[in-house]
A and B are shown apart, each in its own frame.
Chain A
């Protein structure tokens, strides 16, 4: 059999293989570690819930709605970005990525698999926050829409994390970069607080963060009042951010080094 013939793979075989890749990688790198080392879970809860607590106590309950939206956005965004640090570790320290590149697994399948494993880690705080929000009287349709926003945020930040991981040269830099970006897009902009608090000249800058758009949508779905134009803008902007960063990850990430 010649190389060319043996190299062909049918579409259905390729789909089956990709599904197995996604399931196995997300299970072995996400679900299994979470059950084996449950001590990792408090780290996922720590930052978003600490900020939520401060806002709740400091704002005497008035900032609870935006705080919950912020905590929900940050839980997902932080885990999406951590993907960048984890992947850098897999690439530099473990050389696992070498094994993956030299295999039929595509960069997209690998990114999606690891992103799914990160989402697994983010799911406990997300579930707790969604439970709190639904108890505050938010309807199930709004909760479903929130899940949609969460998924868009997950894809966006995972794409940012993946893109970064293919350029960063050491694990330490990766962790510092991820922490910096996480602060920059999850704490500084109006993610935990209403955008109207910001001086008007800062609002366009704040809106450049995909997390701002995600938080606005979650806040509005929780019942906070926004101008309809603002909501429409966020529903357009967030998918656009997702498309942009996903394209960046797919076409500009350095999967094969030059």
Chain B
């Protein structure tokens, strides 16, 4: 097993003016040379973790070591070896794509010649070559996002952090970025930590991933392991007509989303449902379970718990008001 490049233990962060921890005794390991993805809904703690790991933010307690160095006490040696694309960043309006990438490199000590050479290559890789001299304010959101990604991946660092990097990119743009991240990992041995809401992205890119919610890790492993460990089923059957919810529940765990009924089950039962559907002449769709299903299953439970807690709190408050 390769060495850990990030080791977080019992990491806790509670922001001022907030009672709820953004990170709640979080344990996480990222190994050298892998693409590690953090999945979670908004406010799950993904960005907080990235900000702590990139030495921008201090936790309340716990430890975090990056390259084996204490990131809380000794951030300087870490900073030379990392780069980040922050979430919802915006390029500077007076500069064009080329300026941004050159600035990113020269700021870190590259000569202008070296920066210009590397910039040329990365702009071509991310299809920014055609707009290299256009002021960023005149570019679309997707192209601006690509500039921010280019500013990070062009840096000659061992560890890169990308906070929701492909948000706002079109499908082709996303794939371009995916290809480049995989190339950086395979050919240059870079370690990449990214956060995303896109399950297909996590599945396509990640060597390891963690689903986090309310500052806790709910699941970790590679995509296959996470699916197997947390759903217990390998197959899902989607039905939109001809079956009732109660009827499908007898085949396995069933969820309802709009008109869609989804049963999580195994190969044999899926074949049984399929035969029944043929008899009834109704269409069904059988496919392997996805990370999306695991995410909904794990995080959905959290949301239900939250709802319960909220209701209890509200009831307590109502009782308190009535007592008064």
Give the docked Cα–Cα distance between A16 and B51 (Å).
28
Question: Are A101 and B94 in contact (CB-based, < 8 A)?
Answer: no
Please, what's the 1-or-0 string for B93-105, where 1 marks a CB less than 8 Å from any CB in chain A? 0110001001110
Chain B residues within an 8 Å CB radius of A141: none
Stretch at the interface among B53-61, B176-184, B198-206, B240-248: B53-61
Chain A residues within an 8 Å CB radius of B106: 20-21, 23-24
Give the docked Cα–Cα distance between A258 and B92 (Å).
26
Within 8 A of B (CB), among A54-99: 90, 93-96, 98-99
Within 8 A of A (CB), among B83-99: 83-92, 94-95, 99
Residues of A in contact, count (CB < 8 Å): 37
Chain B residue, CB-CB nearest to A2: B68
- The residue from B75, B89, B108 contacting A105, defined by CB atoms under 8 A apart: B108
Interface residues on B, range: 35 or more
Give the docked Cα–Cα distance between A101 and B81 (Å).
12
Chain A residue, CB-CB nearest to B68: A3
Question: Are B99 and A99 in contact (CB-based, < 8 A)?
Answer: no
Chain A residue, CB-CB nearest to B111: A20
User: Whole-angstrom distance from the CB of A117 to the nearest CB of chain B?
Assistant: 11
Chain A residues within an 8 Å CB radius of B66: 3
Question: Are B89 and A98 in contact (CB-based, < 8 A)?
Answer: yes
Chain B residues within an 8 Å CB radius of A258: 57-58
**Does chain A have a CB within 8 A of B251?**
no
Assess A102 versus B80: contact at CB under 8 Å? Given A16-B109, A256-B57, A257-B58.
Answer: no
Question: Are A33 and B79 in contact (CB-based, < 8 A)?
Answer: no
Chain B residues within an 8 Å CB radius of A9: 80
Chain B residues within an 8 Å CB radius of A16: 109
Chain B residues within an 8 Å CB radius of A102: 54-56, 79, 82-84, 161
Give the docked Cα–Cα distance between A6 and B77 (Å).
8
Question: Are A98 and B84 in contact (CB-based, < 8 A)?
Answer: yes
Assess A95 versus B81: contact at CB under 8 Å? Given A102-B55, A257-B56.
Answer: no
Chain B residues within an 8 Å CB radius of A17: 108-109
Give the docked Cα–Cα distance between A158 and B38 (Å).
39
Give the docked Cα–Cα distance between A95 and B84 (Å).
10
Give the docked Cα–Cα distance between A79 and B62 (Å).
42
Chain A residue, CB-CB nearest to B136: A94
Q: A: which residues have CB within 8 A of B?
A: 2-4, 6-9, 13, 16-17, 20-21, 23-25, 28-29, 32-33, 36-37, 90, 93-96, 98-105, 256-258
Beyond known contacts A3-B66, A103-B83: 18 more, CB 8 A cutoff: A6-B81, A7-B78, A24-B106, A28-B99, A36-B94, A37-B94, A94-B91, A98-B89, A99-B86, A99-B104, A102-B55, A102-B79, A102-B82, A103-B79, A104-B108, A104-B109, A256-B57, A256-B75
Q: B: which residues have CB within 8 A of A?
A: 51, 54-58, 66-69, 75-92, 94-95, 99, 102-104, 106-111, 135, 151-152, 155, 161
